[in-house]
């Protein structure tokens, strides 16, 4: 400064101003380059989430991420990015925690404008529960942070702008309920979002009460899905209603806002004219109707595919029902039953080798298939076998695609290197979709968890993003998607929750219209899906059933001997030994079992008496 000050009187006024400005910027940049900004870092199992504010008063071109894995002695550049957040994948730490150090530089035209503080973060292997929490929390961001800012609806994919989807929104509504239950958001926050969504839906385009597949998230106007599909989509509407009915059951408090939400949902549900979509009173349902093209799409809803929920809801409708006979005449059309074995697993219904795995997911986000069957299948057992066939096919890998294995499996509809395809064993091009294995978690928990760990720990650097897993990858083509889709993200968070707590299954099945519909279709109790199923060798009574707090059990012990009583969950896994006596006396055995601390849902009591076994199913309210 002294150099300039000694010469300023001899410089013209304009030049003097320019010099002052240059000196100010030089000093400013030097000062700010030495000024830090705050870096935050959250460590997970195999990755670190970094975030920072834009340094005040600066306009950085980009940010350079630095990481040290030797205690802060040597730093290596990780990446140069523009956003103010970054997911770094140092890798799975294994059995011993691993510490990394990070700092970030803000870069501008003159070089480094500012440098963050340095943080040390430690990666530690997560438990299975912690991994599931992480996957659910990240996946929920798709519906929460990326939800449409006006309507609250779910966008079709992460590049959809104002285009929102009705079926994906149904999945997103259920994801909101999971997020409340898991503490990701508050009950009030979730309530407000659903009031926004239902308020939007009340004024959006409908066609005999049925919503289109796509809408404009600002105006509610239909966006055609294809040339003749510019009207109602009955299948997408069923997915939406499945979510809304779960929400109506969840928000049961007696305050003005929750009452208003229930009334809105009831209005939307009762307005759906399922009977109109019989197409002039036929004995089946049709997928589409358009005010411009009427029935020109002419696409019947018939099984077996993802649309089982359509017939269940149409039969359950309190205002526009269809006869229960349509389950046979419309849904279970000729060719519905399969009965063949594939890789050692029998598929009761549907195509050979099962078809894409979304068949086992979309209708079952709410509908609980455990412990019941219709005339054709125990759908829980069928979905389990479908998932295992899909995995076994990937292990067999007849197409010799790179990467397929016992831990890297799952074929379903998703993006791929060539566009979009319903991938399945009969239509395979080497594309694995994480949603396929992860959404089968209730059916194949061990196999799905192994796939989750592979997708995250082995392939997470390219497959994991700010909203969970990207849509798909194809190692034979050296391709990873950068897309996320509502209909693939939704089943991940929802089906993981059904595996963990049965939340959505319990909510949907508690709707007063569902059980009568199942009864009219002909669903009956079936314990086949319980591990070690056995027919009852003696009469076992349980009452009241359903019950809230206490269940009374009674059976007759014919002669003294060993008696044991165990509580099982819906998958047949042991929860508690209630009673174990090596020399129980003969006579009437009765016991009141307290159920405090047991979440609502389906359970079983299993009694062993000598060489005899009794099993009884009950519902905890």
Question: Phi and psi for 187 in degrees, rounded to 5?
Answer: -60, -40
Task: Assess contact for 531 and 215: CB atoms under 8 A.
Answer: no
pLDDT of 535 over the 50 cut: no
Q: Are 173 and 246 in contact (CB under 8 A)?
A: yes
Q: Which residue has the higher pLDDT, 553 or 142?
A: 142
> Span 530-620: which CATH code?
2.60.40.3080
What is the distance between the alpha carbons of residues 155 and 215, in angstroms, rounded to a whole number? 9
Q: Answer for the pair 345, 486: CB distance below 8 angstroms, yes or no.
A: no
CATH of domain 129-520: 1.50.10.140
| Greater pLDDT, 528 or 399 | 399
The helix (H) or strand (E) run that includes residue 499 is: helix 486-500
pLDDT at 4: 34
What is the tens place of the pLDDT at every residue in 575-596?
888 888 778 888 888 888 998 8
Mean pLDDT of 265-284: 98
Same fold, 35-125 and 530-620: yes
pLDDT for position 33: 42
Tell which wins on pLDDT, 529 or 312: 312
3-class secondary structure for 110-146? CEEEEECCCEEEEECCCCHHHHHHHHHHHHHHHHHCC
C-alpha span between 278 and 284 (Å, rounded)? 6
> For residue 538, what pLDDT is reported?
67
Q: Return the HEC string of 543-604.
A: ECCCECCEEEEEEEECCCEEEEEEEECCCCCEEEEEEEEEEECCEEEEEEEECCCCCCEEEE
Q: pLDDT per residue over 73-119, tens digit each?
A: 999 999 999 999 999 999 999 999 999 999 999 999 989 999 999 99
Does 16 have pLDDT greater than 50? no
The predicted structure's pLDDT at residue 68:
98
For residues 560 and 204, the model is more confident at 204
| CB neighbour class for 315 (10 Å; exposed up to 12, middle 13-18, buried from 19) | buried
The percent of residues in the chain predicted with pLDDT above 90, rounded, is 77
Q: Which residue has the tokens 């510019």?
A: 230
Does residue 25 have a pLDDT over 70? no
For the segment 365-408, what is each residue's pLDDT rounded down to a tens digit? 999 999 999 999 999 999 999 999 999 999 999 999 999 999 99
Which tokens belong to 58? Answer: 């600066």
Sign of the dihedral defined by the CA atoms of residues 263, 264, 267, 268, in that order: negative
Each domain of the chain, given as residue ranges in start order, spans 35-125, 129-520, 530-620
Nearest to 100, CA basis, from 83, 116, 78: 78
| Model confidence at 427: pLDDT above 60 | yes
Distance CA 374, CA 379 (A): 8
What is the DSSP pairing of strand 232-233 with strand 214-216? unpaired
Residue 30 is predicted with a pLDDT of 41
pLDDT of residue 529: 59
Taking only Cα atoms into account, the Rg of the chain, rounded to an integer number of angstroms, comes to 29
Higher pLDDT, 155 or 33: 155
Nearest Cα to Cα of residue 432 among 464, 410, 454, 453? 410
- Write down the mean pLDDT value for the chain: 91
> Are the CB atoms for 436 and 455 separated by under 8 Å?
no
CATH 2.30.38.10 fits 35-125, yes or no: no
Residue 133 — very low, low, confident or very high, per pLDDT cuts 50/70/90?
Answer: very high
Collapsed DSSP state (helix, strand, coil) of residue 62: strand
Give me the pLDDT at residue 530, please.
Answer: 53
| Chain centre distance of CA 13 | 68
Whether pLDDT at 363 is above 60: yes
């Amino acid at each position: 400064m002294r150099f300039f000050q000694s010469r300023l009187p001899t410089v013209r006024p304009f030049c003097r101003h320019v010099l002052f400005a240059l000196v100010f910027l030089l000093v400013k940049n030097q000062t700010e380059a030495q000024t830090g900004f705050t870096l935050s870092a959250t460590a997970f199992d195999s990755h670190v989430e970094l975030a920072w504010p834009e340094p005040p008063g600066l306009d950085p071109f980009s940010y350079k991420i630095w990481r040290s894995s030797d205690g802060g002695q040597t730093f290596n550049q990780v990446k140069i990015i523009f956003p103010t957040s970054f997911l770094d994948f140092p890798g799975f730490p294994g059995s011993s925690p691993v510490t990394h150090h990070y700092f970030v530089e803000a870069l501008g035209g003159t070089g480094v404008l500012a440098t963050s503080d340095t943080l040390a973060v430690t990666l530690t292997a997560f438990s299975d529960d912690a991994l599931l929490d992480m996957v659910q929390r990240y996946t929920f961001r798709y519906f929460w942070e990326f939800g449409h800012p006006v309507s609250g609806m779910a966008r079709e994919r992460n590049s959809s702008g104002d285009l929102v989807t009705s079926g994906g929104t149904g999945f997103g509504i259920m994801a909101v309920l999971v997020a409340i239950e898991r503490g990701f958001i508050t009950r009030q926050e979730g309530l407000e979002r659903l009031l926004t969504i239902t308020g939007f839906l009340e004024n959006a385009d409908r066609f005999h009460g049925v919503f289109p597949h796509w809408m404009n998230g600002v105006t509610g106007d239909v966006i055609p899905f294809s040339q003749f599909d510019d009207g109602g989509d009955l299948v997408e509407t069923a997915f939406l209603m499945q979510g809304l009915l779960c929400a109506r059951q969840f928000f049961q408090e007696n305050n003005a806002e929750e009452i208003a939400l229930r009334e809105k949902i009831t209005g939307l549900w009762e307005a759906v004219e399922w009977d109109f979509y019989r197409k002039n009173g036929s004995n089946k349902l049709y997928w589409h109707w358009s005010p411009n093209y009427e029935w020109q799409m002419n696409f019947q809803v018939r099984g077996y595919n993802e649309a089982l929920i359509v017939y269940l809801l149409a039969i359950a409708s309190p205002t526009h029902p269809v006869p229960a006979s349509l389950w046979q005449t419309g849904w279970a059309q000729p060719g519905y039953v399969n009965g063949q074995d594939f890789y050692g697993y029998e598929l009761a219904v549907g195509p050979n080798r099962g078809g894409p795995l979304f068949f086992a997911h979309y209708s079952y986000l709410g509908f609980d298939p455990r412990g019941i069957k219709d005339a054709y299948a125990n759908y829980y057992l069928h979905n389990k076998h479908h998932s295992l066939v899909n995995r076994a096919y990937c292990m067999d890998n007849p197409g010799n695609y790179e990467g397929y294995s016992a831990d890297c499996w799952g074929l379903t509809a998703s993006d791929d290197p060539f566009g979009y395809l319903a991938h399945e064993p009969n239509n395979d091009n080497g594309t694995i979709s994480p949603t396929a294995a992860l959404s089968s978690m209730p059916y194949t928990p061990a196999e799905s968890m192994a796939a989750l760990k592979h997708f995250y720990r082995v392939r997470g650097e390219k497959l994991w993003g700010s909203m969970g897993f990207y849509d798909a990858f194809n190692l034979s083509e050296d391709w990873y998607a950068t897309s996320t889709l509502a209909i693939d993200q939704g089943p991940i968070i929802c089906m993981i929750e059904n595996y963990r707590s049965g939340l959505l299954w319990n909510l949907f099945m508690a709707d007063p219209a569902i059980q009568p519909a199942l009864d009219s279709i002909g669903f009956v109790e079936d314990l086949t899906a319980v591990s070690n199923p056995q027919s009852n060798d003696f009469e076992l009574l349980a009452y009241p059933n359903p019950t809230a707090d206490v269940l009374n059990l009674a059976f007759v012990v014919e002669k003294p001997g060993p008696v044991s009583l165990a509580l099982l969950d819906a998958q047949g896994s042991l929860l508690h030994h209630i009673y174990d006596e090596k020399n129980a006396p003969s006579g009437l055995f009765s016991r009141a079992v307290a159920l405090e601390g047991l979440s609502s849902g389906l359970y079983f009591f299993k009694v062993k008496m000598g060489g005899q076994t009794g099993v009884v199913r009950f519902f905890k309210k």
